[in-house]
Amino acid sequence: MKKVGILTLYYKTYNFGAQLQAYALQKYIEKQGYMCEIIRFKWSNEETIAGYENAKIDQAKFA
């Protein structure tokens, strides 16, 4: 089974629309026969988004 990752920039957000969209996309991809996981994109400074060079991947479990 192939693995698919959904990279989301919404880390610790209270935007329920963004969370629902990521969840719905995950379920759709799983129905297509893929193993899917949401990867939360975590900024090193969570208060401000200074730049992409300060970003870290919170979790990645892909081979």
- Over residues 6-39, the pLDDT tens digits come to 887 765 666 788 888 889 999 999 999 999 998 8
In a domain, 58, yes or no: no
Helix (H, G, I), strand (E, B) or coil at 57: strand
In a domain, 56, yes or no: no
Which of the two residues, 39 and 49, has the higher pLDDT score? Answer: 39
Structural domains of the chain, count:
1
In a domain, 27, yes or no: yes
In a domain, 36, yes or no: yes
* Cα–Cα nearest to 55, from 4, 45, 1, 63: 45
Q: What is the largest CA-CA distance in the chain?
A: 38
In this predicted structure, what is the pLDDT of residue 47?
52
Give the model confidence (pLDDT) of 54-63 as tens digits: 555 554 544 4
* Cα–Cα nearest to 46, from 38, 37, 55: 55
In this predicted structure, what is the pLDDT of residue 62?
45
In this predicted structure, what is the pLDDT of residue 45?
59
Average pLDDT of the segment spanning 31-57 = 69
